[in-house]
Amino acid sequence: MTQKLWEKNVRVDQDVEAFTVGRDREMDMYLAKYDVLGSMAHITMLESIGLLTHKELSLLLAELRQIYTLAGEGRFVIEEGVEDVHSQVELMLTRKLGDTGKKIHSGRSRNDQILLDLKLFTRTRIRDIVQWVTALFDVLICQSNRYKDVLLPGYTHLQVAMPSSFGLWFGAYAESLADDLLLLQAAYKICNRNPLGSAAGYGSSFPLNRGLTTELLGFDSMNYNVVYAQMGRGKMERTTAFALAGIAATLSKLAFDACMFNSQNFGFIKLPDQFTTGSSIMPHKKNPDVFELTRAKCNKIQGLPQQITLICNNLPSGYFRDLQIIKEIFLPSFDELTDCIRMATCILKEIEVNKSILDDAKYAPMFSVEEVNRRTLSGVPFREAYKQVGLEIEAGNFIPDKQIHHTHEGSMGNLCNDVITALMHQVIEGFSFEKAIEAEHRLTTQTPAL
């Protein structure tokens, strides 16, 4: 049996081990390549302060890059009896390099290792989410422009209210995503600060160069106070979860609309046949299962911030094992949200729009406000015009004029999609992903300048 990094002469009870390790090995597979990346930066710093020789650094970097490649290709394995990703990486190095492999842990704790791994993982997955959201945004804007003149009923209280358009409907979700990414950008900036060197949360007596690891890993800055760096465990995940929940809320609402508008009672849209499923008993059914599952999954993601809060909100400063459980709900959430965004994007590209919705007479009353406004513009007091139109509707004499002339910013006649697109591009540029991407590339492909 492999000894734990922290074990000395006494073996821990097997039941206790199983309970405390829990799903850590499974969750740490998400973090493997980031653990290796952090070790590359850490040992480069250790060489710069004399705790490793240049030869030892070269040997360690060469082995770590091989492990990094294994992890990137999905071939990294945490062996039976090995506690976590940190232990596995150190074990692999020690097998190849002997005592040199044992030197990589100088000046750090598993506490700041996992803090670092989580941040490197999260900033990468935020970047992925931004790419997927951007693709969905582009489809929504495209469809908004394509169907900008196709009218559909707008609703309040689920009652037919006023004229809307598919231009407004698609465009509304596009602009919502722009706001969602603004919140995600804030989460990224909180995430993109270096905790490495805080050790167990109280620093180290080694003369660590935290500025160097910050630069090597492409962070914007470091978490300066070592106690606060440790306090960031859970906080970073909660902050990011709120941002993910914002995107999920937009998707959930879109999915609800799509399911409702696709039903025969509405008939506003038709989902692509290849994205619907059938019934085992009713041959006519084409069910919007993808959007129904999207709605459920996104509602689940919206509960993520509260789950994280309930795990860590009553903990004092310092590290506690409670924080381990956050990984189990946080790490998989990125894949789940990505799947929802990807599927929504595919469906919305192929969605069919009903261009004859308003031929149905039941939608005639939604033009009542337009008629009131026309009479008001011709000089009739608003309240008098409102009464006149209301009485005509009650008497069954109202004849709608379906010619709509909305011109103000953001209305169906002036969607401002170009401005919304510019806003989205501005938000995306604000992430400044390039620094992190370039730093990770340098670290994994060449020996950093010393």
At 77-122, the pLDDT tens digits run 999 888 889 999 999 999 999 999 999 999 999 999 999 999 999 9
Q: What is the mean pLDDT of the chain?
A: 92
CA distances from 117 to 33, 231, 354 (A): 9, 15, 49
Asked whether the predicted pLDDT for residue 427 surpasses 90, the reply is yes
With 50 as the cut, is the pLDDT of residue 146 above it?
A: yes
DSSP tally for the chain: helices H, then strands E? 18, 6
Segment (H or E) for 221? strand 221-222
Name the CA radius of gyration of the chain, rounded: 28
**Poorest-pLDDT segment among 238-242, 318-322, 372-376:** 318-322
* pLDDT score at 276: 72
The dihedral through the CA atoms of 95, 100, 101, 102 has a sign that is positive
Structure-block tokens of residue 250: 């937009």
Mean of pLDDT values over 350-363:
94
Is the model's pLDDT at 6 over the cut of 60? no
**Alpha carbon 437 to its chain's center:** 18
pLDDT confidence of residue 450: 47
Inter-helix orientation angle 32-48/110-146, to 10°: 130
pLDDT for the residue numbered 4:
55
Confidence category of residue 433, pLDDT binned at 50, 70, 90: very high
More confident residue, 160 or 1: 160
User: Please, is 361 exposed, middle or buried when counting C-beta atoms within 10 Å of its C-beta (0-12, 13-18, 19+)?
Assistant: exposed
Ramachandran angles phi, psi of 112, nearest 5°: -80, -20
**pLDDT attached to residue 130:** 98
For position 283, what pLDDT does the model report? Answer: 65
Structural domains for the chain: 14-108 (1.10.275.10), 111-147+167-357+420-443 (1.20.200.10)
What sign does the CA torsion over 158, 164, 166, 169 have? negative
Three-state secondary-structure class, residue 155: strand
pLDDT band at 285 (very low <50, low <70, confident <90, very high): low
| Nearest to 231, CA basis, from 323, 330, 113 | 323
State residue 403's pLDDT score: 87
Q: Distance (Å, rounded) from C-alpha 86 to C-alpha 80?
A: 14
Q: Determine the pLDDT at residue 281.
A: 72
Predicted confidence (pLDDT) at residue 3 exceeds the cutoff of 80 = no
pLDDT band at residue 368 under the 50/70/90 scheme:
very high
Residue 27's pLDDT band (cuts 50, 70, 90): confident
pLDDT at site 1: 44
Among 5-14, 228-237, 308-317, 383-392, whose mean pLDDT is lowest?
5-14
The whole-number pLDDT of residue 274 equals: 83
Per residue in 167-221, pLDDT (tens digit) is 999 999 999 999 999 999 999 999 999 999 999 999 999 999 999 999 999 999 9
